[in-house]
Chain A
Amino acid sequence: MSVSAGDNIKLDWERQEDPQRLAAFEARIDAGELVEADDWMPQNYRVGMLRMAEHHANSEIVGALPEGEWITRAPSLKRKLALIAKVQDEVGHGQMLYRVSQDLGKPRDAMLRDLCTGRTKYHNVFNYPAPTWADVAMIQWLVDGAAIMNQKSLADGSYGPYVRTMRRINMEEAFHFKSGEDMVLTLMSGTPRQRRDTQAAFDRWWMPCLMFFGPPDKDSTKTSPFMTWRIKTLTNDTLRQRFVDRFAPAAIDLGLEIKTKQRDASGAIVSDDLVPDELIVHDEASGHYGFTQPDWDEFNRVIRGNGPLNRERVGLRRFSYEQGAWVRRAVLGQTCGLPLAN
């Protein structure tokens, strides 16, 4: 194995690539061709793609944790079966994406270990708690909705193995999203308490979902090599606006109120108490919905490991990794322990 850990897989913008090969590579990307695992690619393309695929894989694995907690408490057999299937799908996506990442040069075990020790990240949104069943519905509707929006754009990317995996994943995400929509509709047509719980869950997930697409674009985003190489195909702000345009009218339709943190006249956040977001208005001229930006200070706190559940999520992943060591040893021992008979 050429690479023993993740530490030496770094972006290096000083690196000089063979100009002829680079030009041929970029021409292929411009022509809409897909790059395959064995093809020549610039080192920064490989590293950028690996980081994205690994982060995505981590997110699928950790993303299964908040929902997994609810399997034993699902309100009906049908919901329980669907939730088990969804959690299984997410873990499966994680496995497929680790496989894609391995071919980009990082061993699988190094990725699992880096996740357990906090060297690599997963999606911020999974550091928030899911205290009620309505949160499970909200995760499947809003978070999976945001994920589909993001992944649809990634399915237009340039790295063949990732793109094909993304198309497959999107088929399965469509079921998660529909089942979430079904749950939210059920809850919002239920008792006053169910509707209250759903509003409370919506309040917990709306802003983390706005943050889901990452920090606001810098001026340089559109010309970043990751955009020209089509590792990313749409900017964070474009995707965020798409999400709002899709989900703000749906939430209003369902009778949910969209809220934001309380701010003073200068726009500074004065309290964590939520007030209705006055900017949620459809603008006829642009065709878009307005919205108030989420609390980016909170985003930065959570991403540095100080979110509500960062320690628990990583702790549980690590717990099961360490508890599973004997299984891995047994499996590996079986194949490499016995000499071949001849």
Chain B
Amino acid sequence: MGLSSKRTGIPTYEHPDRLSDNPEGDLRAYEVFVQTERGKPHTHCGSVDAADDAMALQFAREHYGRDQACVQVWVCPRDAMIRTDYDKDLVFRLTDQSYRFAKGYNVGAKWREFRAQRDYEDYRKEDIKEHF
């Protein structure tokens, strides 16, 4: 049956539903952010459980920093993060906010109008000079 049955030192248990020590509480949850390249934004990629900051950073490096190109890892205790509520806080208003975006400004049409007006003024000046 292969190696598993030849492994020695694994005890068999008389009371398989009883463990020798008591259950433990949860550790602290940390959110993990990684940066894949210098200059790129840090992206949230998951969370880890740890007893302290150093352990959180170590776990985050192991779990999230190893299998992809990664230049920096951030960890932050979840309970230290302040966030909005999906239902109660409307973060992005659905009213017209085109003034916030470059595409909200149609300067092409304005340039055309501006140049046409300038050409007209120039023409008129020339016209007046010629006739009077």
Which residues on A are within 8 Å of B, measured CB to CB?
Answer: 1, 4-5, 36, 38-39, 65-66, 69-70, 88-89, 92, 95-96, 98-99, 102-103, 107-110, 113, 116-119, 129-132, 135, 161, 164-165, 168, 171-172, 308-309, 311-316, 318-319, 321-322, 325, 328, 331-332, 334-335
Q: Is A95 a contact of B7 with CB atoms below 8 Å?
A: no
Q: Is A315 a contact of B11 with CB atoms below 8 Å?
A: yes
Binary interface encoding of chain B residues 96-122 relative to chain A, with 1 for a CB under 8 A from any of its CBs, else 0: 000000000000000000000000000
CA distance A315 to B20 in the complex (A): 14
CA distance A135 to B1 in the complex (A): 12
Q: Is B63 a contact of A319 with CB atoms below 8 Å?
A: no
CA distance A197 to B127 in the complex (A): 99
Interface residues of B: mostly helix, strand, loop or mixed?
A: loop
- Chain B residues near A95 (CB, 8 Å)? 48, 59, 63
Q: Is B67 a contact of A309 with CB atoms below 8 Å?
A: no
Binary interface encoding of chain B residues 1-30 relative to chain A, with 1 for a CB under 8 A from any of its CBs, else 0: 111110101111100111111011111010
Tell whether B71 is near chain A: CB-to-CB under 8 Å.
no
Q: Is B5 a contact of A36 with CB atoms below 8 Å?
A: no
CA distance A132 to B7 in the complex (A): 15
- Chain A residues near B19 (CB, 8 Å)? 113, 116-117, 318, 321-322
- Chain B residues near A108 (CB, 8 Å)? 26-27, 49
- Chain B residues near A5 (CB, 8 Å)? 23
- How far in angstroms is the closest Cβ of chain A from B17? 5
Listed A/B pairs (24) with beta-carbon separation below 8 Å: A1-B25, A1-B26, A36-B86, A69-B4, A92-B66, A95-B59, A99-B29, A99-B49, A102-B49, A107-B25, A116-B19, A118-B16, A118-B17, A119-B17, A129-B2, A130-B3, A131-B2, A309-B1, A312-B5, A312-B7, A316-B10, A319-B9, A321-B19, A334-B51
- Chain A residues near B18 (CB, 8 Å)? 117
CA distance A264 to B82 in the complex (A): 67
Residue of B nearest to A335 (CB): B51
- How far in angstroms is the closest Cβ of chain A from B108? 37
Most buried by A among B3, B49, B59: B3
Q: Is A129 a contact of B17 with CB atoms below 8 Å?
A: no
With A164-B46, A309-B1, A309-B4 already in contact, the answer to whether A107 and B26 are too (CB < 8 A) is yes
CA distance A171 to B10 in the complex (A): 34
Q: Is A92 a contact of B52 with CB atoms below 8 Å?
A: no
Q: Is B4 a contact of A332 with CB atoms below 8 Å?
A: no
Q: Is A172 a contact of B27 with CB atoms below 8 Å?
A: no
Binary interface encoding of chain B residues 32-51 relative to chain A, with 1 for a CB under 8 A from any of its CBs, else 0: 00000000000001111101
Q: Is A331 a contact of B1 with CB atoms below 8 Å?
A: no
**Lowest 5 CB-CB distances: which A-B pairs, in order?**
A131-B2, A129-B2, A109-B24, A69-B3, A335-B51
CA distance A99 to B59 in the complex (A): 12
- How far in angstroms is the closest Cβ of chain A from B82? 14
CB-contact partner of A110 in B5, B23, B27, B49, under 8 A: B23
CA distance A110 to B25 in the complex (A): 9
